[in-house]
Structure formats: C-alpha cells, structure tokens
Structure 1
Amino acid sequence: MSDLRALLREDLRGQEPYGAPQLDVPVALNTNESSYPVPAEVVEAIVAAVGEVAPTLNRYPDREFTALRAALAGYLTATTGQPLATEQLWAANGSNEVLSHLVQAFGGPGRVALGFTPSYSMHPIIARSVGTTWVDGLRGTPSGAYDLDVTTAVEQVRAADPALVFLTSPNNPTGTALGLDVVEAVHDAAQGAVVIVDEAYAEFARPGTPSALTLLPGRERLVVTRTMSKAFAFAGVRLGYLAADPALTELLRLVRLPYHLSSVTQATARAALEHTGALLGMVEAIKAERDRLVTGTRDLGLDPVPSDANFVLVGGFADAARTWQALLDRGVLVRDVGIPHHLRITAGTPAETDAVLTALGDLVADHRQQETA
C-alpha cells in the first residue's frame, strides 16, 4: 500500500488541522459560540423562509446572492452609521471561507502574509493552504503585553513587505481592540498589500470602540470581515461576510466556487437579518457575563485581560494544561490556546459563569502561578 503522506504536498507534511475539542460536557465555554439558543420568533421566520425556497431546490441558487448582500449592507449601515452599498459586500460559508477567498485572490506562492500573533490561528493556516509564506509579527508595547501600536506595526510591515496583512480587532484570543490609527498606519505603510481587519467580535466591543468600516472610503486595499456566528448566535449556519471597495469584491468572483452559497443558507441568513433586534438582544447579556468573568477571575488572584469580545483570556495559571484538565474533570470545558499560563473562557449564561468561577475558586490555590521575587 502506498504511503499517502508521501503524496501530500510537501508544505503540508507535518501540519496539524485546526480544531477545538467537541465534548459533551455540562458547561462548554471553549469555542466562543453563543450559549443562547436562536429565539423562537427567529426560528419561525427561518422555517418559513426555507419553506419558500424548498420547492426551488432543483435549481441552482442565486450565484450573486444579491438580496443577501443588500441585507448585509443595510445591517452594517444601520449599526455603524457608515453607508455601504450592496456592491461592497461579499459573503461565504463562514468567515474562514471569506478569508480563503481573499488569500486565494491576493496570496499564493512567492507572496507573504503578515499577522501579529498571538491572534486567530486560522489566519496562517489559510495563508499556507495556497502556498503563501506566513510571517509572525509580534505584539507587545510598554502599555500592554498584547497591544499593537503604530510604530511597532509599521516597522514590521516595512520589514516583511507583505501582499496581505491581517489585523484582528477585537483580537482572538486576547480580546483586545485596535485603534483606527494603527489600521490607517498599516494601510499606508503596506503600499503593495491588501489589509484585512478581522472584526468577527465587533458587536461585543465596549462603547466607544471604533470599527474599521469607517475607514473604507478611499481605501480600495482595505477589507473588513465579519461573521454571523458569534453575535447572531448563528454558528451552525456558517455565514461570514466582508465589506470592501466594489472593485475588490469583483475580483473575488475569480476564486469562489460556482454557486457557493446555497439557497437554504441565503434564505436563512436573510430571515435572521430581518430580526436583528431579537438576535442582538442577547449581546448585552453576554457582555455582562464577560465583565463578570474579568472581575471574578481578578478577585481570585488571576490575571484577566480586559476584553472587547465575548470571551476573556485569563492568565496566572502555573500550568495551563493542568488547569484545563482539572476544569474539564469538573464538567467545564475552556480553551487552551497555547499561551503559557493562560486559558481562554467564553462568556456564556449567568449559570455558566457561576460554574466556571466556582470551579476556578476550588482550584486556584493549587493552580495559581507563584510570583517570583
């Protein structure tokens, strides 16, 4: 029998696939999903919308998903105050496919993608999947271990000479947001690059946190990506999208697969966008639990990072992997993101917050990192 690994692309050999544990536990707080089910009124609207398209499933879906793009443009315009046209929107099966389209179009062999780590671990995986060279930029400023300032970012952009730059705000897994001055400076410094601002968690940002959508006018190389998975409690639908200059979205047609968004997906997403009030009504509740996690873990003597997302990165563990397992043994699943002494905890329901804080309270005396003199 042949060794299939020998037939695998050389640059993929030895790589590990992306994935978080999917375990049946009482408290699952490891993948930044919403703990709240889709509201009944939205379920009814989705069922009706799918019922309308079901008889037409013998035909291919609208290849240009025009009605969905118009609905997404309307949502962003209404919630950010930044006017956006249908032609500026693009969507795909989750934000990962949106990012894949961007990398397929603007990356590839002989080209470099730059991201500032720790950040979303799929960015380098997607970049490398089409032969793009990935460069790990660094975070950290005198004001914060996970911050990124103008000087630090621009110096690294000029050194890397990238074709793609990934900025993430709020950042995953740290929860920290970027100032627009950083985005503007990176865009100006990366003259030959498409600059992607991944705003998957934007709806959870604290008041006053700006969106890079306001920077789109006049910047045809700037892209802002979003998702319906998080704030919309729609992880199971797989609908991500981006906003950019119409000339850029036009180029993405060169790499998308034919009819890539099914009729059912389009109908489901459009129904949800007609009920944004009900869906986004859960966001404030989740933000409250996020803030409880920050306060509660700090009260336990741990070191949480203030967050603009629906999760909190908590530091101060002597051995993060050991604490992760101890929490799992108590029925609480969180995420070990590979940062020494840190675990990431998704904000869930009040009962889930109680459970994780209680479990940490039981463990912290034996698991807390000891201060060094």
Structure 2
Amino acid sequence: MAFTLEDLPIRDDLRGQSPYGAPQIHVRVALNVNENTHPVPDDVAADILESVRQALVTVNRYPDREFTALRESLAGYLSTPGQIVAAEQIWAANGSNEVIQQLLQAFGGPGRSVLGFPPTYSMHSMIAAGTGSRWIPAERDESFTISPATAAAAVEQHRPDLVFLCGPNNPTGTPLSLETIAAVYDATDGIVMVDEAYAEFMPKDRPSAVTLLPGRERLVVSRTMSKAFAFAGARVGYLAAHPAVVDALRLVRLPYHLSALTQAAAIAALRHAPEMLGMVDDIVVQRDRIVTELREMGYHPYDTWSNFVLFGGVDDPNAVFEALLTHDVIVRDLGIPGHLRVSAGTAAETSAFLDAMREITASRPAVRVEA
C-alpha cells in the first residue's frame, strides 16, 4: 500500500484538513483570486529592477532584520495630514498571511481562541488551525453585513483571545464600519485584527481602520501590497499597530525573514505609490461596470468596496463556472450556494467575462434564480 499523509504522526488537529486550494487553471482571462491584473508600469518596473540589482551587490550579507527603510516607507504611505503613523508602529512580512500567522503565534496558540465572521477570508481559519488556535465562527447579519450590536454580542458570548474582522470583507466585498470595529474593541480585552487587504478600493471619502489606532493599543490593521500595488508575486504584507504589538511579533519571527531583495523591491514600488494607485481607479470602474451589467442580466451582485464582485442568483454555480472555462475565463466558486465571485480585471478582461455571462445566460435561462 502507498504511504500517505495519514500514515505520518501529524498533529491530531490537522488530520482531515485541506490546504488552501484556489484552482490553478491556465486560461486567457483569470479573474478568480482577486489579483490586480494590470501589469506594473514600465518605468516603475525599471526602478524596481535597478533597486534589486543594487541589493544583489551585497546579497552575500544578511539583510537588515528590522527592515528599517521599508518600515519608514510604509509609515509614510499610511500617514495622512491628520494622522502620522510612525515607523515603530509598522511590521512587515512575506505577504499578509505571514503577518497574520505571526500575530497568531504571538497571541493565539493551544488553549486560545480566534473569533471570525464567515463567510470571510479562508486563510484566517486555516492559519488559526495551523497555529493550534481554536477558530470560532460567528453569524453575520443580512446581506453579509455585521452591525456593531451583532459583533459585540458575539464577542461577549464567546470571549475570544483574538477577533478577526475583514473590511472590505473577502469574499463578499462587504464594507465594515468603524463603529463595528470600535464596538468589538470595547467588548474584548484581546487583540482585534482588521484585515484591510482591499482598503485602497474603498471610496476615497471613507476612513481606514488605521484612524482608530490612537488610544487602542490592542488594535491591529493588516494590509498587503498584493492588490493595489500589483505585487502579488512579490509577497509583501504589513500591519500597523501599537509599538508594543510589534515587539511581540519580534518574539516569533524567524531571523532575517524579509530578504534584501524583497525589501528593495517594496521600497522602490512605494516610491511610485501615486502611479501604482492610478490602476486602482481603473479597476473600480470595471468593478462597478460588473455590478451594473450583472444586475441587468438578472443576477444579484452585492455592494462591494473591493476589487471583486460576489453575485447571487445562480442556480448551478459549478455549471456556470465550467461554462465560463469554455470561454477561457475563470472565476471563483466558493461553495456559497447560488453564488460566484469574479475579480475586476482590465477593460478587455471584464468585457470577456461579461460577454461570456451574457451568452451563458441566454443559452441557459435557468442559471438565474432568486438570490
């Protein structure tokens, strides 16, 4: 008989678990994992390449393990005329998933619990499991929202050591109010983490959870460069919090966890933040176009502040998913009955998806049901 995973002395709480499993199918239009499908502008890419070239000259030496210059760059990026974020408040790692993992290594673990509100980012519960932290799912309100009262009641009922919020929420795109975050913080003595991976796609007049940091020493705001900065392949995530939280993460991080090349590339990209964020405006236009045109087709797209759209009213999500593949388009079937999720791409990619949906809908009228 073949030797399998189940034959190994793996931890009991990991038996039966499945790894992260977004399909990796090569198609012409990939709109399934919320990437920024716009390429990095040529001038920005040239500057990044030059910065990496310079870093290579001393790559025989360990990098700055405090990634000082990167923290200063990220602090400058997050600071506004009304609020200065200090470099001492910044932590970074190889993607926001590693940031979250380090947070759980420091504040979670065996005998401790994490409260979240599914459907939400799948890696929250998976990283909790990987660190031996108990995941507690709580109910959302109608249309995937979370009111301050609902959130605070869940915290008071379960008394978790950490609370994970996601705003805008993945996979629904749902906004998260500052009032809900504040209510959760007031209801717990534990760590409250707000995952703002899609913050740059929120309306420009809506404040980030970063504005709540002053006076809230247990609040953590996680961000990523994967989405707005088109840096998914570079793996750079970060958080802003009280310096004491950063000190806690130093206790669990691996030595020199951010390579010199990663640091150099991220600093160079941040130098071009206005140009990089110009892509965000284009993506928001396509996102809103998806909402409008899916609604005209009879589907139920949800309000979204992210770079993707969750839409209901699909009687057989797997059949529509497969039909889209025949058009060389891939979206995401999340296992939410009657729903699919699609990322907003370039104008051409968005058109390819919408044209395919119109053709599929016309040929299979039963794909639409009441959401």
TM-score, structure 1 normalization: 0.96
Task: Identify the residue that residue 72 of structure 1 maps to in structure 2.
Answer: 74
Q: Does structure 1 conserve the Cα–Cα contact (< 8 Å) formed by 2:173 and 2:310?
A: yes
Q: Are 2:164 and 1:166 equivalent residues in the alignment?
A: yes
Task: Identify the residue that residue 134 of structure 1 maps to in structure 2.
Answer: 135
Runs of 5+ consecutive residues of structure 2 not aligned to the other structure: none
Q: What's the offset of the Cα at 1:306?
A: 1.3
Give, in whole Å, the separation in 1 of the partners of 2:69 and 2:175.
31
Change (3 A) 1:34 1:81: farther
Give, in whole Å, the separation in 2 of the partners of 1:34 and 1:4.
35
Aligned counterpart for 1:201 among listed residues 178, 198, 201: 198
Task: Identify the residue that residue 214 of structure 1 maps to in structure 2.
Answer: 211
**Alignment length (residue pairs):** 367
Task: Identify the residue that residue 92 of structure 2 maps to in structure 1.
Answer: 91
Q: Does structure 1 conserve the Cα–Cα contact (< 8 Å) formed by 2:92 and 2:237?
A: yes
Q: Are 2:17 and 1:15 equivalent residues in the alignment?
A: yes
Q: Does structure 2 conserve the Cα–Cα contact (< 8 Å) formed by 1:310 and 1:346?
A: yes
Task: Identify the residue that residue 110 of structure 1 maps to in structure 2.
Answer: 111
Give, in whole Å, the separation in 2 of the partners of 1:312 and 1:302.
11
Task: Identify the residue that residue 42 of structure 1 maps to in structure 2.
Answer: 44
Q: Are 2:339 and 1:338 equivalent residues in the alignment?
A: no
Q: What's the offset of the Cα at 1:111?
A: 0.7
Change (3 A) 1:290 1:249: same
Q: What's the offset of the Cα at 1:209?
A: 2.3
Q: Does structure 1 conserve the Cα–Cα contact (< 8 Å) formed by 2:298 and 2:368?
A: no
Aligned counterpart for 2:222 among listed residues 217, 225, 229: 225
Give, in whole Å, the separation in 2 of the partners of 1:178 and 1:139.
12
Determine what percentage of the aligned residue pairs are the same residue: 56
Task: Identify the residue that residue 53 of structure 1 maps to in structure 2.
Answer: 55
Q: What's the offset of the Cα at 1:82?
A: 2.5
Q: What's the offset of the Cα at 1:81?
A: 4.2
Deviation string 1:80-131 (CA, Å, 9 cap, x unpaired) is 8431000000000000000000000000111110000110000000011111
Task: Identify the residue that residue 120 of structure 1 maps to in structure 2.
Answer: 121
RMSD: 1.3
Give, in whole Å, the separation in 1 of the partners of 2:112 and 2:360.
47
Give, in whole Å, the separation in 1 of the partners of 2:62 and 2:317.
48
Deviation string 1:266-311 (CA, Å, 9 cap, x unpaired) is 0000000101111111000000000000001000000000110000
Give, in whole Å, the separation in 2 of the partners of 1:202 and 1:81.
18
Give, in whole Å, the separation in 1 of the partners of 2:51 and 2:368.
52
Q: What's the offset of the Cα at 1:8?
A: 1.2
Q: Does structure 2 conserve the Cα–Cα contact (< 8 Å) formed by 1:179 and 1:210?
A: no
Q: What's the offset of the Cα at 1:330?
A: 1.2
Give, in whole Å, the separation in 2 of the partners of 1:224 and 1:122.
16
Give, in whole Å, the separation in 1 of the partners of 2:239 and 2:119.
23
Deviation string 1:311-339 (CA, Å, 9 cap, x unpaired) is 00011100111111111111110001111
Q: Counterparts in 2 of 1:257-336, with a 5 A limit?
A: 257-336=254-333
Q: Does structure 1 conserve the Cα–Cα contact (< 8 Å) formed by 2:313 and 2:370?
A: no
Q: Does structure 2 conserve the Cα–Cα contact (< 8 Å) formed by 1:92 and 1:261?
A: yes
Letter in 2 for 1:328: L
Give, in whole Å, the separation in 2 of the partners of 1:82 and 1:63.
27
Secondary structure, in 3 states, of the residue corresponding to 1:63? coil
Aligned counterpart for 1:178 among listed residues 176, 179, 182: 176
Deviation string 1:172-199 (CA, Å, 9 cap, x unpaired) is 01101111110000000012x1000000
Give, in whole Å, the separation in 1 of the partners of 2:310 and 2:4.
41
